[in-house]
Amino acid sequence: MPTGPALPFGPAARPLHPVSPSSPVPAPASVPAPDAVPVAAPVPAEAAASAAPSPVPNPALERIIRGPSGVGTAGLFFTPRQAPPVAPPVASPAVPPTASPAPELPAPPPAAEGRPIPGLYHHPVPEPDPARVAEVSRRIKRWAVDEVEAYPPEWEDQFDGFSVGRYMVACHPDAPTVDHLMIATRLMVAENVVDDCYCEDHGGSPVGLGGRLLLAHTALDPVHTTAEYQPAWAQSLLSDAPRRSYRSAMEYFTRAATPAQADRYRHDMARLHMGYLAEAAWAETKYVPEVSEYLAMRQFNNFRPCPTITDTVGGYELPADLHALPAMQRVIALAGNATTISNDLYSYTKELESPGLHLNLPVVIAAREGLSDKEAYLKAVEVHNDLMHAFEAAAAELAVACPDPRVVRFLRGVAVWVDGNHYWHRTNTYRYSLPDFW
């Protein structure tokens, strides 16, 4: 595993800023939704032979993308985007101010670069609002540096290169305010701090990972213990960057979320941590899983926690009984699986350059099915495309079977998140580059 400078650990680390109670983020007002409908991107000529055929447009899926219509549905659409302030913002009820004054907004990021993987089935999305991207980027860096000390100065270029502001604005275009966007952005950064510091890039290791993850999970799912031992547990949440990040991000999230939404997120994070542990166990024993085993692991170690908070970020709630529908669970699982295989494909060359054997779908297919690197990679593209088609078909079927406007809106949010996630991978040339297989 690559190593890096140690993060600020220990009880001497500056505590988090105090959090004052506040009311949940209000639901959005009613305005018309954007009428742009994502379409399948054209496949470059040189990849036409390996590209999967585009499916016939599904009317039910297009209805999901457009959103609900008819009597009583006007309140389900997006609100006007709130322009970010140049002066220090006034704190909303859901997000307390930080101690340091806000500088002027940075210049908008450069135009998106990168090209999609040839043959990969996806939908293009509009460029994220640059003013929102700049404001989210400013706020998240201030949170990461001042509130939770998530990274030392020598990692600043990596934090900036992650482009998390552009990522979250692309994935949540229906967020009514920047405060709503920050809910998702803090959680995304916290998840990556845990992954980097406990599992991979910055001193992580599979050895002892279970203990570290369990203690970090208590920052999301509090320990209920005796009066004698409660203070020691509470103090432990400030002892390292991953726990500080989880603790703070979860506090912001639970002030905006309903109890059911918060419990849903905790459950999804437990799934994620179980996936981390399976991959770590294979790394310790140098086991290369069967392709089916790898795909099972990736259903847990995947992006699922991110799209399932799309209703909280959008300022509404998909009720627990509708979220728990087996058909909805299938849609969410397929969305997480497809986006995670997309990550495997875009991060392929990055992971090949890291020390040791790093499991991803092309590597596992090559090892288990005796294919060349190129053949395995192109087969992994086909797996991704099959998952995407299954996700879209399942979402369309559910929209027809359960035409509740809240279900349709949530399905639309998940679909938009999937597209935004691909956009970020495609355009993040700081992190990703494509193999020379075409």
Q: What is the pLDDT of residues 97-151, one digit of tens each?
A: 333 344 344 444 444 578 999 999 999 999 999 999 999 999 999 999 999 999 8
pLDDT digits (tens, 9 = 90+) for 308-353: 999 999 999 999 999 999 999 999 999 999 999 999 999 999 999 8
Query: Considering the chain, what percentage of its residues have pLDDT values greater than 70?
Result: 74
pLDDT mean over 256-279:
97
User: Quick check: helix, strand or coil at residue 95?
Assistant: strand
Among residues 188, 171, 181, 169, the alpha carbon closest in space to that of 414 is found at 171
Q: How far apart (Å, rounded) are the C-alpha atoms in residues 422 and 80?
A: 25
pLDDT mean over 73-84:
39
| 362 in Cβ contact with 376 (< 8 Å) | yes
Q: How far apart (Å, rounded) are the C-alpha atoms in residues 365 and 82?
A: 46
| Amino acid 41: pLDDT | 41
In degrees and rounded to multiples of 5, residue 92 shows phi and psi of -85, 165
The contacts of residue 250 (CB under 8 Å, 6+ apart) are 187, 190, 219, 220
pLDDT digits (tens, 9 = 90+) for 388-402: 999 999 999 999 999
In degrees and rounded to multiples of 5, residue 376 shows phi and psi of -65, -40
Q: How far apart (Å, rounded) are the C-alpha atoms in residues 61 and 54?
A: 14
Among residues 107, 169, 217, 46, the alpha carbon closest in space to that of 424 is found at 169
Angstrom distances, CA of residue 81 to CA of 197, 307, 373, 437: 35, 20, 45, 41
pLDDT at residue 47 above 60?
no
Q: How far apart (Å, rounded) are the C-alpha atoms in residues 187 and 128?
A: 19
| Amino acid 14: pLDDT | 32
Listed ranges 3-12, 51-60, 326-335; the one with the highest mean pLDDT:
326-335
Predicted structure pTM score = 0.77
| 76 in Cβ contact with 106 (< 8 Å) | no
| 73 in Cβ contact with 66 (< 8 Å) | no
pLDDT at residue 82 above 70?
no
| Amino acid 4: pLDDT | 37
- The type of residue at 74 is A
Strand partners, 95: 92
Among residues 232, 241, 233, 225, the alpha carbon closest in space to that of 9 is found at 241
